[in-house]
Chain A
């Protein structure tokens, strides 16, 4: 509270700086303490209020502790409450003082008014004084058995507080067991909800050193407990509903009927006005259907509308939280949202953090049918008063251009940006034009003529300047002025502050020199001299290197600096798909807001209930995978590749007609084989050896029959036998693919017969199956085909997962192998490659 405001309220004209006022209060309280006069409670109230208000401002009023406790011997509940507030604030700092209060709080715990019993118990447990825990056990025990639900509610949380002060006292008093019994039997929903949150916290903390707690923690996720909660979810208030939904997320359903039962139970939660309830429900739906491609997609369709409604109702802050989640879904499955792009248009009065999200969403959903409108809209923002957003919009246009096949119109728009003659617009555009040229060299003619018209004086931002210089070097033969512009820039070497720009200048001068030697020679000389004298290490090194390589052999230098370039087909994603999947798994948490998995921003002890889902809720995680954070770079695969086609798919009317109101099992039970409707991505069901596993080219011939399958710890490739009847359902495959690190990456050639046979991709699947390597998903079209295979050891359920990308034009296959047993992955890869090399052979 601000001092001026405070001084207005009190008769004392001075600032409430402390001492005299406190002494004053102390004597007044003392006078009232023993008084039985009528109206004394009112005077006490006024004094108490003063004490509390001092306390809030930060004035130390701990010296009136004794008087406050004396005065609180009253039946006036308002006074009691203020006293509890005061005591709670000072007890921890003054353990001696709090002994004083124990007595009267304990007495109040037996008061006939349940309000006072509850309040006293809460205050008692909030003292947070370790040496007083012995006084808590009794009142807590009777509080849990109190016939008033308010007292029980408080007692349950009190147990949790006790646990945090002294875990052993809490466990020794057998409180967790009492909570569990209350949780399953109490008639009051808030008591039940508090039991659930207390037990979750206690058991997950205990689980690290107690097997029993581990079991108890898992028992919360048993089918009866989950259904006990889900069946009566409407009896709970909205906050407790969120708690239950968070629990349900971790539940592993037994079969598809189980999944549909839960979804039908929770369907109407999607209509709740509380965004937290809706998001928690959405998470349950998404997680439950992870292994059911069709239904998963149907869930996306179903949740779209409620989420959009939540975005547009509620405060800007709430919209932001919902929009961040929508953003995640849009980026994951852009084709589902492609027709909703207008919802992601920015409004002029939205905060920039919202606009930024929307721009990214617009970029993600752009496809052939809506690009024109989206880009038109983005171009409007480029003239926006908000410069940061204008820049983002231009970048968005560029990103769309890079992800489209038909960029004709977009290039024109970008070039129009350059005509706007705004510094920041020009700067952003130059960077984009450079990237575009790297991907689509065929546009160089149009771009270069416009870029050539830009005066380098108007380009100041290092990134843009570097882009311009790169173009000058790269296209020196097409831009008549290139050597002279470069020369100009080189002459001003001293004034160029950015090392990045100077590095580019060196390289551009070299490139230009190879193309137009007479015109550039002088400038290159100056550049190399300036570069070698440069104080920046990288610039110095590069200049020296160029100088020496030129001295050695000019032709070698040209091959090094200016080799023929291949167009970049895909720019690297800034975030690995593994990280994206982790964030998706942590849906409805801060990970989505920060766009980082939780391990990047929380300390271990505070990860809370979300993280133990990793250890518990999922079936097939090896302990190492969940506890150790595997560096993101190791992962590249993405379960999204399996789940949803990345190509857009317009035709799911059959799904949307269902309107999602009821999730009926039959229509999907038929598809237990998950015969996907997706044309691009044919997923074959759990592979059984229905086709004859002819091992005509079996590795038997290669390795001989009677050899041991155990991996030999020698350097020679161990021998491996695979189970021809291996099975793995797609869900388990996805989960494994996500969790296992890549153990091997290999590139190998595919023989021409094989490439020819790939005109029918099915033939490869059959071929590999004959080698006991089963296909779980495949897709792609010429020249790139992608297959996911799995195989199992014959003797034990140890799995090998493989991603195989075959490029028919280069006749190369890229293989990524993940294995339960890392040590045998090399052996498996050998088997795989051998099998692949025989593909197409008669």
Chain B
């Protein structure tokens, strides 16, 4: 597992951080990498895969907030080890800097080098634990003002709509002192669920999956032990058989297909009372990842109609209905639909009184785009679009358009019904009562309705 170099490039290919550990890769590897990624044209793929080989040098990269985190190696290493490491380096740096972007990197590059020297020595990984690194790292981070926070930051998903917690808290550095002097004792537990649903043209669910993570970020001093209790009716695994064998919703309780845990998690009492205990290390980490194919109620119902309306015309009607309670509000919803490639024009008609909605026809990609700022539970919205074609269509128009895809974020809502029943922190004294934030969010991963 020897890594030759590690570097971070900006979207424009500028070198932000560069470290050579083994001096075995010729000069110019950053340029080679960037050219290859930018102008990838191999085996019919439009984008470069995360791993490729140029002249005997293997390049690994992950993209985080628009930056390329890259490692090179000359040996036949484990690919998931290197990719996992790159992701972890990004996380450690974010833990220290609070915010991860080009600016924070440039302001703190000495600190970043300090971290990198302790994370990797002569190409071998030493540690990626924010906690362990604390004792080796001495530079103080220069924290970027939260106002400059980019919307891509995952913390942003909690701030919109739900005003229940300070959005900036998650962008705090683990080491920086706060202006007020003492640090606030708090802990964040986020249940993030990404859902994938494919509806057939008749509206029936073809596939559905929930990929969930319980993410934790602790700012507690003194590393107290924490107990996290999940639903008592939680079940894991389906006896090794395929999950699609019995897709009935008859079973009560939450059934996970499978899950895995962070190494700090102890499962001593998990089998008996569904409690995880752990001493959370500093920094952000996933306590548990889970996967579920048990049937659930999709949050949106999508209904699409495309009809010929004359020789060179057609009409599209998209109806979306929010199938969740009215005290829940989904935000940043986008709906997209590819139109027949001979579409030359599209005019839109929103429902009367529609607010916070935008429509667009992207001429080059022939894409219909509809965005909604928010949708209240139970509400229904409709979009009508009149299409004009540049040539007569033949055959089946539904084969030329679609499918409709959606993205959305629904704070304080989770479709799996997996819950954190309580979060217990071992008390140091009777007055010790840190802030506990337990937050839920559901996001669309791939939400597709065929027409």
Interface, chain A (partner B; CB < 8 A):
1-2, 5, 9, 49, 52-53, 56-57, 77-78, 81-82, 85, 92, 115, 122, 128, 150, 153-154, 157, 160-161, 190, 194, 197, 201, 237-239, 242-243, 246, 271-276, 278-280, 301-302, 305-306, 308-310, 312-318, 320-322, 324-325, 339-340, 342, 345, 347-353, 356, 377, 380, 383, 385-386, 388, 391-392, 419-421, 586, 588-594, 598, 601-603, 606-611, 653, 656-660
Contact = CB atoms under 8 A, between A and B. Distances in A.
A473 B245 CA distance: 48
B258 A305 contact: yes
B257 A273 contact: no
Interface in B10-61: 10, 12, 14-18, 23-24, 43-47, 49-51, 53, 56, 58, 61
A347 B46 contact: no
Interface in B109-147: 109-110, 113-114, 117, 121-122, 124-129, 136, 138-139
A92 B64 CA distance: 33
A348 B78 contact: no
A56 B260 contact: no
Given A309-B260, A659-B240, A242 B47 contact: no
A386 B47 CA distance: 12
Interface stretch (B82-90, B182-190, B348-356): B82-90
A345 B198 contact: yes
Contacts of B113: 52, 85
Given A348-B446, A590-B51, A317 B61 contact: yes
A383 B397 CA distance: 11
A315 B87 contact: yes
Contacts of A313: 211, 213, 260, 286, 289, 291
Contacts of B241: 339, 653, 656
Contacts of B76: 586, 589-591, 598, 601-602, 607-608, 610-611
Interface stretch (B373-381, B398-406, B428-436): B398-406
B80 A157 contact: no
A789 B207 CA distance: 47
Contacts, number: 270
Contacts of A592: 79
A314 B358 CA distance: 32
A671 to B, nearest CB: 20
B109 A52 contact: yes
A806 B260 CA distance: 49
B305 interface: no
Nearest to A352: B45
Contacts of A238: 263
B448 interface: yes
Nearest to A599: B76
Contact of A339 (B79, B117, B128, B245): B245
B260 to A, nearest CB: 5
Q: Which 3 A-B pairs have the closest CB atoms?
A: A608-B75, A347-B446, A656-B240
Nearest to A283: B78
Interface residues of B, number: 96
B204 interface: no
Contacts of A301: 240
11 contacts: A5-B102, A49-B110, A194-B126, A201-B2, A271-B260, A276-B81, A315-B83, A348-B448, A385-B338, A421-B395, A608-B75
Given A56-B109, A321-B80, 6 more contacts: A1-B16, A5-B14, A273-B288, A280-B81, A316-B50, A317-B87
Identify which of B1, B86, B289, B450 gathers the most chain A CB atoms within 10 Å of its CB: B1
B394 interface: yes
B394 A590 contact: no
A588 B260 contact: no
Nearest to B49: A353
A277 to B, nearest CB: 8
Nearest to B60: A317
B180 interface: no
Contacts of B263: 237-238, 272-274
